[in-house]
Every structure is written in structure tokens, then in C-alpha cells.
Amino acid sequence: MNWLKRNLFLVLGGVVALVFLGLAGFYLYQQKQKESQVTASLEAQITEWKRLTNRKPSANEENIEAAKKEQSRLKDLVRANREYAVPTSTFTNMDSATFKTLLETTIFDLEQLASRRGVTLPRQYHFTAQRLRQSVVFQEAELVPLAHQITEIRALCEILFEARVHALLRIRRVPVSKQDTGATEFLTGTKIVTNAVTGAVITPYEVTFQGFSPELSAVLTGLQQSRHLFMVRMLDVEHAPDSVSELTTQMPYPGPGAPGVMPAPVPTTPQSGADLMRQRYGVGPGGPGGPRGGGATREFMQRYGGGPGARPPGMTPGAPANYAPAAQTRRGPETVLEEKQLKVTLTVEAVRLPPEAQ
């Protein structure tokens, strides 16, 4: 104890020295760890550099300059083709009230257009927006993507309705909202993709409709000639069922702010594909030349046989038809090829280019 008292400063100095030695050791250990990390990163970069230099073509100055020129050429090509790829919308900001008005107005306009063009819609169809129509407040981050999808669905439906397809069966889109659930109206397993070079946003859709081959041709032509850029990725065609009794024509929706309630849907009469063909194109009974309106078809059948008013050759018109039918060769038209209604499923990608930089 006396020794400690006599050598107090010496003891304190030793303790301080030990503390500094410990700190120095800890600092040395940290620096050693950092050195190991830097060494590992350097070795990884050296390995990557060797990999790039050994590739064919290698990442030399000539190839880098060629890649920059290709990027510049691609940007010029995108700029020159903007007039053929006009986006359906350019929304950058939106609130719940504006989106609600856009949604209801779009559905109302599509119902009216379908009614004018004679296109059958599913009973009480909402164009993939049933849950959205039941909501008033939406997540702010979901409004702009939803608005883009609603306008793209409108553009697709306008092409279908202008082609006068017989019936729209279903539209499916990529879910972008928490309310977008279920496999009936939404494409599960797919997502919206943004091209890293051009910045174009690619959104997939699936459209299913019924119609004859002329309607299918008109739809494909409409997609090709549209001022919006739609790319057909898959086309599946099969024979539609003869009966379309499960479909109904939806009455027009009153629209936002209109009084009254939505009228009940009017069911359609089950019809076969042949009946629909005759009604649409005027082939046989039920068409413009059928027995309802008279016309060339009835005159043809009366003149050449095969119809209800046909008479045997040589018989005076207006004479009583009290005669026994004799066996004779049928001289009327015969059906060689009967058009059948088709069920078509299209997988379409809508391409939306970013606004051009000023």
C-alpha cells in the first residue's frame, strides 16, 4: 500500500498505457477487417474485368462507342414513331374524386357504345372494376396506374365494339390495387414491365369475345391501325357454343349523378350460330332477304323452287296449287360451307411511351 502511495503516478500511467494499447489493438483489428473487405472487392472487380475483356465482343473502346451509337439510334427511332404510339392517357397525379368520375364515365360510355353497335355484354358487367365502383376512397399510389388501365381498357373495347363483335365475354388485367383480387377478372402471375432502354411501360391484357371470322379480322385490323400501340402476343380461336342464352344485353347505366336506379337486364333469346349468321349478314330466313321483309331471296325461291311459294315449271302464276308433288331435282341454293361462331381469346400488350424530354 505504501508502495502504491509512493508510486501513484507510475501506476496511473501504466493503467492509461494499457487502455491505449487496448484501443490501439481494437482499431488495428477494425482496419484489418476493412482491408480484407477491400481486398475481396478488388479481387471481384479484377475477375469481372477479366471476364469482360475476354468476352467476344469485348468491352473495348470501339465496342462501347458502337453501343452508344445504337442507343442513340434507338432513341431516334422511338422519337420518330411516337405518332404511331400515342398513349391512352398522360396522368401524373390524380385524386379519388377525379378517378371515380373517370371510372363511372368510362363504363357508361362503353355501355352506350356497345348498345349502339349491337354488342352483347355479360349481365351487369363492370369492365374489371366491380370492387372499385363500390369504393369511394383509394390509395394515392394506386390511382395513376388504375387510371392508365381504365383508359387502355376503354381503347381496347372501342376497337372491339367498332368491329361489331357479337358478344364481349371477359376482359382481364394485371392487378395493381389491393382491391384487385380473384382470377376471373385479373391476370395472376404477370406484371407490368418497364423497358430499361426506352422507358416504355408494357401492360398485358386478355380479351375474350364471340363473333364470326369477319369480326375477328376487323378486330385485328383495328388493333393494327390504332393510334395507340397494341401488340398481340397470343391468339386462341375455338368454336363457340351454339346457344348464347347465358349472355344478356346490359341496359345503359344512368351515369354519375343521374337519378334513378339501373334497370334490370333484358335476357336474350337462345339462338344458334346459324341464326346469328342469318340475322347479321342476311343469309336465309331472318335476314334482310328472308320471309319477313320479302326481297330477292323469296323471289329466288318462288322462281326456282325450294320455298313455300314455289310452283312446278310451266304452271301459271296465280293458279291453284292443288297438285301432287312430283319428284324433281332440287334447283335451289345449297349450303356448302356454313359459318360458325367463334370464341376468340386475345392476349394483348398495351405499350405506353414516357413523355418526351423537353
194: alpha, beta or left, given left = phi > 0 and alpha = psi -120 to 50? Answer: beta
Amino acid at 21: L
Q: What percent of the chain has pLDDT over 90?
A: 37
For 34-85, give the DSSP string.
HHHHHHHHHHHHHHHHHHHHHSSS---HHHHHHHHHHHHHHHHHHHHTGGGS
Angle between helices 140-162 and 213-225 (to 10 degrees): 130
pLDDT score, position 294:
47
Q: Is residue 335 over pLDDT 50?
A: yes
Q: Is residue 63 over pLDDT 60?
A: yes
Mean pLDDT of the chain: 78
Q: Which of 203, 193, 199, 194 is nearest to 148 (CA)?
A: 203
CB-CB contact of 230 with 204 (8 Å): no
Q: Which of 163, 270, 285, 161 is nearest to 213 (CA)?
A: 163
Mark 96-125 as b/e (b = at least 16 C-beta within 10 Å): eeebbebbbebbbbbbebbbeeebbbbeeb
- The model's pLDDT over 35-54, given as tens digits with 9 standing for 90+, comes to 889 999 999 999 988 887 77
pLDDT score, position 318:
53
Question: Vertex 277, ends 273 and 278: CA angle to 5°?
Answer: 120
Domain 93-255+266-271+342-352 class, CATH top level:
alpha beta
Give the highest mean pLDDT range of 82-86, 153-157, 191-195, 227-231. Answer: 153-157
Average pLDDT over residues 161-179: 93
Average pLDDT over residues 175-190: 86
Domains of the chain: which residue ranges?
Answer: 93-255+266-271+342-352
pLDDT score, position 74:
84
DSSP one-letter code for 317: T
Instruction: Give every CB contact of residue 220 below 8 A, 6+ residues apart in sequence.
Output: 232
Q: How far is Cα 230 from Cα 224, in angstroms, rounded to an integer?
A: 7
CB-CB contact of 161 with 140 (8 Å): no
- The model's pLDDT over 262-320, given as tens digits with 9 standing for 90+, comes to 444 444 455 555 666 566 655 554 444 444 444 445 554 555 555 555 455 555 555 55
pLDDT-based confidence at residue 206 (cuts at 50, 70, 90): very high
The phi, psi pair for 249, rounded to 5°, reads -85, 120
Range with the lowest mean pLDDT among 178-182, 255-259, 279-283?
255-259
Q: How far is Cα 287 from Cα 27, in angstroms, rounded to an integer?
A: 95
**Three-class HEC string of 283-314:** CCCCCCCCCCCCCHHHHHHHHHCCCCCCCCCC
CB-CB contact of 64 with 58 (8 Å): no
pLDDT score, position 282:
58
Q: How far is Cα 353 from Cα 168, in angstroms, rounded to an integer?
A: 28
Q: How far is Cα 169 from Cα 103, in angstroms, rounded to an integer?
A: 20
Average pLDDT over residues 102-118: 95
pLDDT score, position 197:
78
